[in-house]
């Protein structure tokens, strides 16, 4: 039993197929991300709630009375996960033009970007930083079925020091502007954690070091102290929330790990001691190693500050080298891209960078499935195609285990048993 719901959203028109009962997808090939094996002629069966009930060989498992979606010419994978997005942000918004964008306008951008991201095969995202809790509103709108988008785990405003990367330093003194996530000192930072949790944050984002796109600071410089980071991590964990720390700088990376923070974002200038600490503490490292290309090549056009482009030129290659070193040393790595710094929907372009810099395609795919699911605290719900998980499934032509670039052209996306797009060839 299927019915087609036509819904028009922004510039995109979707034909959404809703399963009114149990359903199934038949895959010519399927990447088993846990074993690393490529399985052939598989079926994934799910119930009316969009939860997987069984997977296995099509010859044995196909339930009576169910006509599966035919993906027999395609390769299936679990829906992908990006743990570092700015879904309500557009590339031009980091420069002065961004000052004219309201939080409500950001939320509308978010609705457009969420649809693009989902259609690109990313069925789950973690959003790290959004003004006005626009990401909370977007998450809730998606969960209510008002707009299409991935499953979202959101931080609301990022915590940061006065004048730091997560403050806004574009305006002079007389405007008296401070970003809403600014909090100085351990107790003010604890209060800010409580505040963002109050207004709907699933996790805490904190800016530990300086950054690339902010005015007047340096990525390598520490901003929050170890004492402040420890207070933030303790308060967040007490309230059942994980913490993601923006940290480019060597010292801030170590401070974040020692503070008990769950993931280090960017990780650009991590050294051997930092890698060892991450391994000891089980901290995930997230390296956004695609967007360097976009910032350096397109940053001027999108209105980035000249200092931002200069900072990226110094940092990009080091970050890629350190990504390779961290991976080869056995640190835990999750797939996060900084989408929003580059256009949303291009998230999968990072896979080939990860392979270029030392990973096998399967490692990169695991970073965006099993590892990302573990980092966001959802290992039993997303990141693999197993009973009890959401029926979040994508398909591509070709073999992503030999050519990871095929993930840039996803032909089929299903989220929770609902088909979002299907451009796959069928027999
Ligand atoms: Zn970011």
Question: What pTM, to 2 d.p., does this model score?
Answer: 0.94
Residue with tokens 């891209």: 337
Percent of the chain with pLDDT over 90: 82
Measure Cα distances from 35 to 31, 197, 215, 385 in Å. Answer: 9, 37, 46, 12
CA of 59 to the centre of ligand 1 (A): 45
Q: How far apart are CA 392 and CA 414, in angstroms?
A: 5
Strand partners, 345: none
Here the tokens at position 305 are 């500050």
Residue 111, phi then psi, degrees to nearest 5: -65, -45
What is the structure's pLDDT at 427? 61
What is the structure's pLDDT at 325? 98
CA of 115 to the centre of ligand 1 (A): 20
What is the structure's pLDDT at 52? 97
Contacts 24+ apart (CB under 8 A), 271-274: 272/325, 272/329, 274/250
Annotated catalytic sites, by residue?
A: 205, 338
CA of 281 to the centre of ligand 1 (A): 23
**Nearest residue to 247 via CA among 192, 191, 205:** 205
CA of 254 to the centre of ligand 1 (A): 19
Helix, strand, coil shares of the chain, percent, nearest 5, are 35, 25, 40
CA of 266 to the centre of ligand 1 (A): 8
Residues of the chain with pLDDT under 50: 1-20
- Helix orientation angle between 250-258 and 226-238, rounded to the nearest 10 degrees: 40
CA of 341 to the centre of ligand 1 (A): 8
Which secondary structure element, helix H or strand E, spans residue 319, and what is its range? helix 306-328
CA of 199 to the centre of ligand 1 (A): 21
| 352 CB-side CA count, 13 A | 11
CA of 94 to the centre of ligand 1 (A): 11
CA of 380 to the centre of ligand 1 (A): 26
Q: How far apart are CA 159 and CA 139, in angstroms?
A: 20
What is the structure's pLDDT at 355? 98
């Amino acid at each position: 039993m299927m019915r087609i719901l036509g819904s028009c959203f922004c510039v995109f028109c979707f034909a959404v197929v809703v399963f009114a009962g149990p359903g199934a997808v038949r895959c010519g090939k399927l990447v088993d991300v846990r074993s690393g094996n490529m399985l052939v002629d598989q079926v994934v069966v799910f119930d009316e709630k969009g939860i997987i009930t069984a997977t296995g060989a099509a010859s044995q498992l196909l339930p009576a009375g169910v006509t599966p979606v035919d993906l027999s010419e395609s390769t299936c994978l679990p829906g992908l996960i990006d743990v570092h997005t700015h879904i309500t942000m557009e590339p031009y918004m980091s420069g002065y033009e961004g000052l004219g964008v309201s939080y409500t306008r950001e939320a509308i951008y978010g609705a457009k970007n969420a649809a693009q991201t989902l259609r690109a095969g990313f069925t789950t995202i973690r959003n790290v930083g959004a003004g006005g809790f626009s990401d909370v509103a977007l998450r809730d709108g998606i969960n209510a079925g008002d707009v299409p988008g991935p499953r979202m785990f959101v931080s609301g405003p990022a915590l940061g020091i006065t004048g730091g990367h997560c403050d806004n330093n574009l305006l002079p003194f007389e405007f008296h502007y401070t970003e809403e996530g600014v909090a100085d000192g351990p107790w003010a930072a604890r209060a800010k954690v409580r505040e963002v949790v109050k207004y709907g944050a699933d996790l805490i984002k904190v800016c530990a070091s300086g950054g690339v796109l902010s005015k007047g600071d340096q990525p390598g410089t520490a901003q929050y102290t170890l004492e402040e980071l420890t207070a933030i991590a303790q308060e967040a964990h007490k309230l059942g929330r994980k913490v993601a720390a923006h940290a480019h700088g060597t010292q801030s990376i170590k401070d974040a790990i020692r503070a008990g923070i769950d993931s280090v974002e960017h990780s650009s200038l991590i050294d051997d001691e930092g890698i060892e600490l991450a391994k000891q503490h089980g901290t995930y490292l997230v390296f956004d190693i695609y967007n360097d290309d976009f910032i350096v090549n397109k940053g001027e056009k999108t209105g980035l500050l000249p200092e931002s482009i200069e900072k990226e030129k110094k940092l990009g290659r080091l970050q890629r080298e350190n990504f390779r070193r961290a991976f080869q040393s056995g640190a835990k790595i999750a797939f996060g891209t900084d989408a929003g710094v580059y256009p949303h929907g291009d998230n999968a372009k990072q896979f080939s960078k990860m392979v270029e810099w030392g990973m096998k395609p399967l490692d990169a795919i695991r970073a965006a499935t099993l590892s990302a699911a573990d980092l966001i605290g959802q290992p039993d719900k997303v990141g693999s195609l197993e009973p009890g998980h959401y029926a979040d499934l994508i398909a591509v032509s070709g073999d992503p285990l030999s050519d990871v670039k095929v993930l840039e052209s996803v032909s089929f996306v299903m989220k929770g048993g609902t088909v979002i797009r299907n451009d796959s060839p069928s027999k």
